[in-house]
Amino acid sequence: MSASAEKVDVFQAIADPTRREVLRLLAEKELPISAITSHFPISRTAVVKHLHILADADLVTGHKVGREKIYRLHPGPLTEVKQWLSFYEQFWNNKLSMLKHLVETEGDTALTVLRTETDQQKK
Amino acid sequence: MSASAEKVDVFQAIADPTRREVLRLLAEKELPISAITSHFPISRTAVVKHLHILADADLVTGHKVGREKIYRLHPGPLTEVKQWLSFYEQFWNNKLSMLKHLVETEGDTALTVLRTETDQQKK
DNA sequence: TTTACATAAAACCAAATGGTGTTATATCAT
DNA sequence: ATGATATAACACCATTTGGTTTTATGTAAA
């Protein structure tokens, strides 16, 4: 985990449920480590490690005020996830683009897929 | 990794770069395991493990055709990620909502944050 | 019916992950 | 100065992860 030059992948950073919960907390307002820790059943040391990972992914920033270290949400890197997701949106936005995609690439299975989707809707 | 009832979290499933690349490949067209493997420098066994994780997250489905097992993209669960992301979009869509958020929660730091953002833009 | 092909299943391994407890250092309040 | 508070820095640990190799099984083709 080390200092602050480790460069953690944002996808990896948000993979852990505890870290996602930390982000949600910091979305409400910035908080010192101890306040964050109080929301979890794990040790402060463990929370600090999660914070370091989030900081290495540039999803949070921390600044010291007196003896406290205050962490704040820095959501910028989440745009990378959004961009990644946007590529897959064509597959669920409507069945027409799904059909178009299938016809273009694997035409012979398009009907099978469409039938499956229809059955799921009926259920 | 086991059979098929393990229920893997979609955030965890997409955390691995290899698995994201598998999804991208399957977005083009469905493929048998051997064809997927040929795109990676790792063994077929390793690819199969990634496929099992993706299948446990319901992001791909596999069906046998003769002696081949064909995998197909099943992007539905990605909506969960999209939903999760939508909560954070308010923070980067425009500075006004960012400022609004800060004023509502931690008013005294809003100016500092805005100044930081402006500096980054200048660079 | 051999032979080759494609996948499946299992045993094993090193490194990363998520957690712990202990010890040290800086700051605030008395 | 003293004691309490908040974080930092380590050392350590069990489990998971991402990979390997080996062995077995089913299917296609000669």
pTM of the model: 0.82
Most confident of A86-90, B34-38, B117-121: B34-38
Nucleotides of strand C within 7 Å of the protein's CB atoms? 5-11, 17-22, 26-28
Q: What is the mean pLDDT of chain B?
A: 83
Reported as half-sphere exposure (CB side, CA atoms, 13 A), residue B67 has a value of 1
- The pLDDT value given to residue A46: 98
- The pLDDT value given to residue A7: 87
Nucleic strand C near CB of residue B47 (< 7 Å): no
Write out the two tokens for B9. Answer: 């979290």
- The pLDDT value given to residue A101: 60
Nucleic strand C near CB of residue B68 (< 7 Å): yes
Closest CA to B39 of B52, B20, B57: B20
- The pLDDT value given to residue A11: 98
Low-confidence spans in chain A with pLDDT less than 50: 1-4, 107-108, 110-111, 114-123
Mean per-residue pLDDT, B97-108: 59
- The pLDDT value given to residue B92: 76
Closest CA to A76 of B40, B93, B65, B63: B93
- B92 closest CB neighbour out of A17, A76, A91: A76
Q: Inform me whether the C-beta atom of residue A103 falls under 8 Å from chain B C-beta atoms.
A: no
- The pLDDT value given to residue A35: 98
Closest CA to B36 of B82, B9, B72: B72
User: Contact B105/A20, CB-based, under 8 Å?
Assistant: no
Query: Cα separation of B2 and B48, whole Å?
Result: 12
- B29 closest CB neighbour out of A11, A88, A105: A105
- A28 closest CB neighbour out of B9, B15, B105: B105
- The CATH number assigned to the domain with range B10-73 reads 1.10.10.10
Phi, then psi, of B82 in degrees rounded to 5: -60, -45
Mean per-residue pLDDT, B88-92: 86
List chain B residues with CB under 8 Å of A17. Answer: 9, 11
Q: Structural domain boundaries of chain A?
A: 10-73, 77-122
Phi, then psi, of A94 in degrees rounded to 5: -160, 160
Closest CA to B28 of A106, A112, A84, A90: A106
Q: Give the number of beta-carbon pairs within 8 Å between A and B.
A: 70
Indicate the helix (H) or strand (E) that contains B34.
Answer: helix B33-37
Higher pLDDT, B68 or B94: B68
User: Contact B27/A106, CB-based, under 8 Å?
Assistant: no
Q: Inform me whether the C-beta atom of residue A91 falls under 8 Å from chain B C-beta atoms.
A: yes
Where does the pLDDT of residue B94 fall: very low under 50, low under 70, confident under 90, or very high at 90 and above?
A: low
Q: Taking a C-beta distance cutoff of 8 angstroms, is the pair A71, A59 a contact?
A: no
